[in-house]
Homo-oligomer: A and B are copies of this chain.
Amino acid sequence: MARVGIVGGTGYTGVELLRLLASHPQAEVVAITSRAESGRRVDDLFPNLRGLYNLCFTEPNVKELAACDVVFFATPHNVAMNLVPELLQAGARVVDLSADYRIRDAQLWSEWYGEPHASPDLLAQAVYGLPELNRAQIAQASLVACPGCYPTAVQLGLLPLLQTNLIDRKGIIANAASGASGAGRQAKIDTLLAETAGSFKAYGVAGHRHLPEIEQSLGDIAGSPVEVTFVPHLLPMVRGIHATLYGRLTGDAGDLQALFENTYADEPFVDVLPAGHCPQTRTVKGANRCQLAVAQPQGRDTVVVMSVIDNLVKGASGQAIQNMNIMLGMPEDAGLQQVGLLP
């Protein structure tokens, strides 16, 4: 039984880790921290967990956390990068759900996050935790940087096209939309129900923090720099990300459906829909799954990929557990067999 610690357990990725780990056969949460809620029972804050955990939030304590087999950071950025060095030194493995170790270039990180990086030495050591891309390195890693929610959906959608050089590396369009849980469990006017229900808008058009992450990883896949126009939108719903991706074919497309199916044939959590189908966010709600479809409208030279995930599962906490499973040599799908909640 792996001993699991969670830093920052009062947000949506925290409660989602607890929901998923409740049915994990080989892992047990032994510590969950929160300065603000220290002393409060976890199931008092999150009554869906009643009967499953006999845990209270505690003040973060490095000694206790270091005694865990794996520590998840379910915090905003700027927390992990201060605590991780000590934890690694103490021998713990870390899966960071925040943005602190996603970008390899410390200066680029600083430009987008507005402050110096606190542990830039670890950036080279951190493995980018997209199992479909880096499974072997994850298995050896002590520090995994979980991809952002948008980047997960975008990368899984574009990977088959970029690996095969089928599309132009410039002029890629990533038009994506997220449910409001992506904005976190924080008191903000902008994500009140009364501000967002029954409405839809783009945001962050001038530059969203997931853009450098997307371009870094797609560049790795393509083998040379890519340029993406990334426009996120806010959906009037709780969970789910839908990315609609557009690329310009540089030559004959060949059989796109077969390309996608073959690329992901052995992937347990990526599912290519039959030709002609469009994925819906609800079919992956609560599940650690990405569903994909590819189309070439009117046979023209623009290829369209649709990619859906649950932002809190394959886009965050589920993928974090998938990474843990790989790191600890457990079955990759342990604790991750939830079925999408339809309707």
Residues of chain A whose beta carbon lies under 8 Å from any beta carbon of chain B: 12, 15, 19, 22-23, 44, 46-52, 171, 173, 175, 177, 179-181, 183, 185-189, 191-203, 205-207, 227, 229-231, 233, 235-240, 242, 244, 246, 248, 271, 273-274, 276-287, 291, 293, 295, 297-298, 300-302, 304, 306, 308, 312, 337-343
Contact B200 A280 (CB under 8 A): yes
With contact pairs A194-B12, A194-B343, A244-B175 given, residues A47 and B283 touching in the complex (Cβ less than 8 Å): yes
Question: Complex formed: what's the CA distance from A42 to B259 in Å?
Answer: 25
Interchain nearest-CB distance for A340 vs B (Å): 3
- Selected from B191, B203, B284, the residue in CB contact (under 8 A) with A278 is B203
Contact B229 A198 (CB under 8 A): no
Question: Complex formed: what's the CA distance from A23 to B25 in Å?
Answer: 14
Q: Which residue of B lies closest to A274 (CB)?
A: B44
Question: Complex formed: what's the CA distance from A277 to B202 in Å?
Answer: 9
With contact pairs A180-B194, A193-B191 given, residues A280 and B239 touching in the complex (Cβ less than 8 Å): no
Contact B205 A306 (CB under 8 A): yes
Contact A205 B297 (CB under 8 A): yes
Question: Complex formed: what's the CA distance from A189 to B37 in Å?
Answer: 14
Q: Which residue of B lies closest to A10 (CB)?
A: B189
With contact pairs A48-B342, A227-B300, A337-B23 given, residues A193 and B238 touching in the complex (Cβ less than 8 Å): yes
Residues of B within 8 A of A246 (CB): 173, 175, 229, 246
Contact B281 A199 (CB under 8 A): yes
Q: Which 7 A-B pairs have the closest CB atoms?
A: A48-B340, A199-B282, A201-B280, A180-B193, A187-B187, A48-B342, A181-B194
Residues of B within 8 A of A46 (CB): 283, 342
Interchain nearest-CB distance for A111 vs B (Å): 12
Contact B180 A238 (CB under 8 A): no
With contact pairs A186-B189, A200-B242, A229-B297 given, residues A49 and B237 touching in the complex (Cβ less than 8 Å): no
Listed residue (A180, A199, A343) with the most chain B CB atoms within 10 angstroms of its CB? A343
- Selected from B181, B183, B279, B337, the residue in CB contact (under 8 A) with A47 is B279
Question: Complex formed: what's the CA distance from A277 to B246 in Å?
Answer: 24
Interchain nearest-CB distance for A245 vs B (Å): 10
Residues of B within 8 A of A278 (CB): 201-203, 205
Contact B233 A236 (CB under 8 A): no
- Selected from B47, B193, B291, B339, the residue in CB contact (under 8 A) with A19 is B339
Interchain nearest-CB distance for A310 vs B (Å): 10
Residues of B within 8 A of A293 (CB): 205
Residues of B within 8 A of A340 (CB): 19, 47-48
Residues of B within 8 A of A171 (CB): 171, 248, 301-302
